[in-house]
């Protein structure tokens, strides 16, 4: 009778520990992570922080039922969805580079256009010199366009980590 009671207690403990592992909060986290991972392409570089604060970095292989497979150094590593605390994805900085380039070189182009406009005004010997106001707009446009192209090119070479979970 005593052995049966001990077996019953062990069984209850196992059931209780399993029930604690699947809390509504962890189920929600797993659903959110699953939704986010659906958009990640195979081969994308991921950095994952697990519940033990380990950082796991590698290429995304696939998502299985309750884990993510990451390839690092020719070996696959399974990461449990329930243990994931944070996920980052590596992306290029093309957009940021284009914005910075457009603003920086656009300002320089505008200033160059203003300088040419001033020179045109100084060279115009009429009573009411108009200058060349079209050079201001042309300088701004050409500067912003050229700067965006150069910035996008430089930004495409740079890689940044973007946190995708938690958002």
Per residue in 83-138, pLDDT (tens digit) is 899 999 998 889 989 999 999 999 999 999 888 888 887 776 776 667 788 888 99
Whether residues 48 and 110 fall in one domain: no
The three-state DSSP-derived secondary structure of 14-29 is HHHHHHHHCCHHHHHH
What's the pTM value of the predicted model, to 2 decimals?
0.59
d(CA 30, CA 166): 11
- At 33, the pLDDT band (50, 70, 90 cuts) reads confident
Contact assessment for residue 51 and residue 83, using Cβ atoms and an 8 Å cutoff: yes
Residue 166 lies in a domain: no
Helix (H, G, I), strand (E, B) or coil at 62: strand
Residue 74 DSSP code: T
Give the CATH number, domain containing residue 59: 2.30.30.100
Whether residues 80 and 99 fall in one domain: no
Residue 116 lies in a domain: yes
Domain that holds residue 37: 2-91
Q: CB burial class (10 A; 0-12, 13-18, 19+) of residue 133?
A: middle
CA torsion through residues 73, 79, 85, 88, sign: positive
d(CA 146, CA 109): 9
């Amino acid at each position: 009778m005593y052995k049966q009671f001990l077996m019953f207690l062990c069984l209850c403990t196992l059931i209780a520990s399993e029930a604690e592992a699947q809390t509504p909060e962890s189920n929600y986290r797993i659903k959110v992570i699953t939704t986010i991972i659906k958009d990640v392409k195979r081969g994308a570089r991921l950095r994952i922080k697990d519940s033990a604060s380990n950082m796991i970095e590698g290429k995304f292989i696939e998502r299985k039922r309750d884990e993510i497979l990451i390839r690092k150094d020719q070996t696959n590593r399974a990461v449990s969805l329930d243990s994931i605390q944070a996920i980052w994805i590596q992306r290029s900085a093309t957009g940021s580079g284009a914005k910075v380039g457009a603003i920086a070189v656009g300002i320089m182009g505008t200033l160059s256009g203003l300088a040419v406009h001033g020179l045109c005004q100084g060279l115009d010997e009429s009573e009411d010199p108009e200058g060349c106001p079209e050079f201001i707009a042309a300088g701004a446009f050409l500067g912003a366009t050229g700067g965006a192209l150069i910035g996008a090119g430089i930004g495409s070479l740079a890689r940044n980590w973007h946190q995708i979970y938690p958002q």
